Chain A
Amino acid sequence: AQSVTQPDIHITVSEGASLELRCNYSYGATPYLFWYVQSPGQGLQLLLKYFSGDTLVQGIKGFEAEFKRSQSSFNLRKPSVHWSDAAEYFCAVGVFNDYKLSFGAGTTVTVRA
């Protein structure tokens, strides 16, 4: 079965600084990869997804992620964070022909002024 690790439980970043959130997965074949964001009191919103093709994926809200097969990683980046990016971020993995997603435990992002 596939698994997902988000090594960073909590990250604090200054407004305007860059942000990178790490995600590593364990799965033998090419997985389907997702990043979701959860703002306080809200459900999860899909930021971006990777199924195949270009390994650099653009998402909503200025986020991008890069799939690196050799490192089994799918790290999320944003060049310049805004205070509204303070939230919890979840990486998820799906596999072919199985609709169940495996989620990481999440990374909480705090943005300081």
Chain B
Amino acid sequence: ETGVTQTPRHLVMGMTNKKSLKCEQHLGHNAMYWYKQSAKKPLELMFVYNFKEQTENNSVPSRFSPECPNSSHLFLHLHTLQPEDSALYLCASSQDTSDYEQYFGPGTRLTVT
């Protein structure tokens, strides 16, 4: 595997479910990011980790919970989501947060029913 991978690629969940999104980067980077992409809206930065430390929580509701066990892996734990949380969730990485060049994964298409 190369680059940034995300699993699953598609996820349908009910509002009472608990699920997790996974991101893995094979680039040796130290910063990882979660973005939310909704149709025809700018990407919204959700969380940032730099050297496994969370450096940004962009006023994200607590029903989204990130986890970064090491510099290569990033998770987004989901629980009691709302239909408006349906979106494409993108993971990205960069060398560290002083590096502006971010590499993106293919995203997880989340549908909340």
Contact = CB atoms under 8 A, between A and B. Distances in A.
Contacts of A43: 4, 6, 90, 92, 104-107
Interface of B: 4, 6, 31, 40-43, 45, 48, 56, 90, 92, 94, 97-107
A43 B90 CA distance: 7
Interface string A17-56: 0000000000000001010100001111110010100000
Interface residues of A, number: 23
B100 A49 contact: yes
Chain B interface, DSSP helix/strand/loop, else mixed: loop
A94 B42 CA distance: 14
A36 B43 CA distance: 12
Given A43-B90, A99-B100, A105 B106 contact: no
A111 B10 CA distance: 27
A89 B103 CA distance: 15
Contacts of B42: 4, 102-106
Contact of A99 (B90, B97, B105): B97
Contacts of A34: 100
A49 B41 contact: no
A9 B97 contact: no
Contacts of A41: 106
Contacts of B48: 99-100
Contacts of B97: 99
A47 to B, nearest CB: 12
A104 B41 CA distance: 8
A102 to B, nearest CB: 7
Contacts of A32: 100
Contacts of B107: 42-43
